[in-house]
Amino acid sequence: MTNKSALPVAPEKEEAMTRQIYLDNAATTKVLPAVVYEMLPYYTEGYGNPSSLYTFGQQARTALTNARERIARHLNAREQDLYFTSGGTESDNWALKETAFAYADKGKHIITSAIEHHAITHSCEWLKKHGFEITYLKVDEFGLIDPAVFEAAIRPDTTLASIIFANNEIGTIQPIKELAAIAHAHGLVFHTDAVQALANVRIDVADLDVDMLSASAHKFHGPKGIGFLYIRKGIKTRSFMDGGAQERKRRAGTENVPSIMGMAKALDICMDLFDERMELETRLRELLINRILAEVPYSRLNGHRSERLPGNTNFSFEFVEGESLLLTLEQKGILASSGSACASGSLDPSHVLLAIGLPHEIAHGSLRLTIGEDITTDDINFTVDTIKEVVSRLRAMSPLYEDFIAGKKPVSAVSHAHTLEH
Ligand SMILES: *Cc1c(COP(=O)(O)O)cnc(C)c1O
């Protein structure tokens, strides 16, 4: 397997005995060597505390300022409006909980969607326990929110809306600019969870006119445990952490300088190579989608055909258990993710797949494959060949499939969706 991508690849990849094909880049990504090199000096040499007044501390402060400027530039944001956090989960919790309370005197109704990440949905559940009302907007079969449905859900006591920019499971990209405009026409604060979108979609916060935006470095080749929340000037929110005066008194705690430097470097690299990355990932995604739908019977693509993240694919295979498929693929060196809420250890189908209308049994046979920059055409072809083989082997052991083939059961409604029409 040779490295055809423009991104540097760790040397052990070429030498690996077993061929590992990492197709779970929506879960996390590899930290690029250049990112690690950027971080190292801030552990061993420039390790001062940015709050210390002597020069050694102030050098760390200068590094922070530099990182903030670089990240802000990629977003067309003011650098003062970026607040470093411990990642996407903290940013989402902060944006939801503290903003809801900051505006509670105006109303206690919040709008979000049925396909948010758990960092949002569980924050909403927490708010519900504390006296807020939550509306979860339905999505269509492709995972898109209808702006008219959003507008119709707005009430006089609605203060905040939070909509995921690009979905982590099915990759659907929402019309964020249009949704933000509707929110503002009704005086709402608009937050978007852009953890999957940043570095995969061009984001200009001024043009989109969003008030708050969450991001996390480990989804774009940066380190884990670092992210930021963009908060537009003038938006009221309470601080999530009590302590020192860091981050303009809004997020206490000594800044994670090495990780912040790594995050800035990762974003620099991803944005410098944006066009090449998008071209590569989209081309491989299309190969994967076209081959699966053409060659695996009773398969369907989940999510939108075109309004989706460049590296995201999500399929359902009827008469197959997603977990069995996943484990068999792992034995072949292919790492993917299933449509179950595996993070919680539960085998319940994902709320996202149910929200786009998949019946439980079909949602259970789902597989997410998310492409990164060091994946090759050979990797994709090998993956499709393996899926074909494993799916037919698993179906051969399924009594339901036997009955179906023998004509004893009707074809379920979605089994016809394996066309490229949508
Ligand atoms: C990964 C992810 C998060 C959580 O980010 P962490 O940095 O892992 O806490 C939140 N939202 C979305 C859409 C994600 O994909």
Does the pTM surpass 0.85? The reply is yes
Identified catalytic residue from 9, 342, 354, 400: 342
Pocket flag, ligand 1, residue 195 (CB < 6 Å): yes
In the DSSP assignment, the letter for residue 375 is -
Mutation test residue for ligand 1: of 24, 168, 314, the one with most atoms within 8 Å of CB = 168
Pocket flag, ligand 1, residue 196 (CB < 6 Å): yes
Between the CA of 378 and the centroid of ligand 1 the distance, in Å, is: 30
The answer regarding whether domain 33-271 maps to CATH 1.10.10.10 reads no
Give the Cα separation of 301 and 201 in Å (integer).
21
Nearest to 96 by CA among 193, 206, 215, 10: 193
* Cβ pair 28, 16 in contact under 8 A: no
CA-nearest residue for atom 6, ligand 1, is 88
Between the CA of 149 and the centroid of ligand 1 the distance, in Å, is: 26
CATH number for the region 274-405 comes to 3.90.1150.10
CA-nearest residue for atom 14, ligand 1, is 195
What does the buried/exposed string (b/e) look like for 57-78 if buried means 16 or more CB atoms within 10 Å of the residue's CB?
bebbbebbeebbebbbebbebe
pLDDT in tens, 248-303: 999 999 999 999 999 999 999 999 999 999 999 999 999 999 999 999 999 999 99
Q: Is the pLDDT of residue 392 over 50?
A: yes
The mean pLDDT value for 116-130 works out to 98
CA-nearest residue for atom 12, ligand 1, is 195
* Cβ pair 212, 231 in contact under 8 A: yes
The mean pLDDT value for 397-422 works out to 65
pLDDT in tens, 211-234: 999 999 999 999 999 999 999 999
Mutation test residue for ligand 1: of 116, 123, 168, 216, the one with most atoms within 8 Å of CB = 216
Between the CA of 27 and the centroid of ligand 1 the distance, in Å, is: 8
Q: Indicate the range of 2-6, 94-98, 141-145 predicted with least confidence.
A: 2-6
Between the CA of 195 and the centroid of ligand 1 the distance, in Å, is: 6
CA-nearest residue for atom 8, ligand 1, is 88
Domain extents in the chain = 33-271, 274-405
Between the CA of 401 and the centroid of ligand 1 the distance, in Å, is: 36
Position 402, amino acid? E
Give the Cα separation of 372 and 21 in Å (integer).
10
Pocket flag, ligand 1, residue 223 (CB < 6 Å): no
Give the Cα separation of 387 and 190 in Å (integer).
41
**Cα 200-202-208 angle, rounded to 5 deg:** 130
Asked if 342 is an active-site residue, the reply is yes
